[in-house]
Amino acid sequence: MKFRLLLLPLFCALPLTAPALEGRKAEAVEVTANQTLTNELWLAADSIKFRGTAERALFLQTMNAELGGQFHRDVWALADTIKFSGQADQALRVAARRSAEIAGHVAGGLMAMGETVHIQKAAYLGEGAVLFGQEIICEGVVSNRLIALGNKITLTGYVGGPARLIADEITLMPGAVIAGDVVYTSDKELFAGEGVTINGKLIRQTKTHLGFSLPTLTPLQVVLIQFGLFLAALFVGLPFVALFPLFTTRTVALLRTQPNKCLLTGGIALALLPMLGVISAVTWVGLPLGALLLGAFAMLLYLSKIIVAIPLAGRLFVRRGPTARPLSALPFLTVGLFLLYLGAALPIVGFAVQLVSVLYGMGAMVLALLSGEKGLRVSAPASPAPEPPPLNGFRP
């Protein structure tokens, strides 16, 4: 999804009668063959039948989608069932809870996900395809690379490049043609029978070499990575503490006075914030709220160690740390961050160190944000009462 906030001045300069972005929500939507959409459209409906022309990008969320028109820009669709029989000049990206059927012409790349993904014989994919599903059937033409991941893959069509297949059961039917190598991962041996043409090599890879597994790191590499992360957190934490001293003071005070409450609040925030963000982002109406929640979650997740580092170092080295003067917490921040990232590099307790620091730090920041400005107002010391005026030349 493109980031369009930077284009806001341009949008404001356009005539009000021709907006560049249009959003709709309805029960059932049907776009006939003689209709043309000239604006980018975000559409949510119970069912969508599209037979017209979309000149700009299209974002759809529905239960059942039937897309048979012409699409000059990217198409994104989220539905229970999706049937695409139109023509897409650029990329097509669909996600279906049940089935995704592709029978049209896609000039750009295809990314399809569903319980069942079916590339029918009439389908033509101009650049390549990435397919995910329980059952994947590919009968059409894929002019470039094919990547398929599922439980069962059946290939009967044409692939103009290499094929990467990962499944428990892989079947190459007679008539299947693969112009490049076939690299597969499966518990069963794959044999190319009669009527199957593979111009490249047939290569089997074990599940530990899927091509995207994380490399094995030595202890020294882990320490070096954690040291780099420590320096990055330090460069973020120093200006953060200097720019927000009152907020830092409040969070550190909460960690010292109410650690159990911080831990509980952090667990709730860690569980709810990403879930609420994803749920809100499912619909285009709640997309801004979802982006805001996910962004706030990411910020709290990263800043949690910075907040925890100060009282951690203060507890280890002095009886009472710098809560009254946040700027004096910079040495404690450096030492505390170093200890946290050093603990994260340990092979057994590293994950526990990171999790505990995230829970405490996130909980303290959430509580500090909810408390608002409470505890920040510093009342001026009461001025001494004025002396009473002299009485008959004598002071009492």
Does a structural domain hold residue 395?
Answer: no
Q: Are residues 148 and 200 in the same domain?
A: yes
Does a structural domain hold residue 204?
Answer: yes
Closest to 48 measured CA to CA, from 24, 18, 73, 22: 24
Q: Are residues 269 and 330 in the same domain?
A: yes
Residues with Cβ within 8 Å of residue 393, at least 6 apart in sequence: none
Q: Are residues 173 and 28 in the same domain?
A: yes
Q: Are residues 151 and 201 in the same domain?
A: yes
CA distances for 274 relative to 279, 281, 300, 340, angstroms? 9, 10, 11, 24
Does a structural domain hold residue 52?
Answer: yes
**What's the pLDDT at 148?**
93
Tokens coding 292: 């805001």
Q: How many domains would you assign to the chain?
A: 2
Does a structural domain hold residue 13?
Answer: no
The pLDDT profile of the chain, 396 residues, written as one tens digit per residue, is 333 333 333 333 333 333 444 555 567 888 899 999 888 887 888 899 999 999 988 888 888 999 998 999 999 888 889 999 999 999 999 988 889 999 999 998 899 999 999 999 999 999 889 999 999 999 999 999 999 999 999 999 999 999 999 998 999 999 999 999 999 998 888 877 788 999 999 888 876 544 545 566 777 777 788 888 888 888 888 888 888 888 888 898 899 899 899 988 888 888 888 888 777 766 555 677 878 888 888 898 899 988 998 888 877 765 444 444 444 567 888 888 888 888 888 877 888 888 888 899 999 999 988 876 444 443 444 445 455 454 344 343
Q: Are residues 153 and 262 in the same domain?
A: no
Supply the pTM of this predicted model.
0.53
- Full domain range(s) for residue 30: 19-209
Q: Are residues 183 and 39 in the same domain?
A: yes
In the block, residue with structure tokens 């700009």 = 56
Residues 82, 94 contacting (CB under 8 angstroms): yes
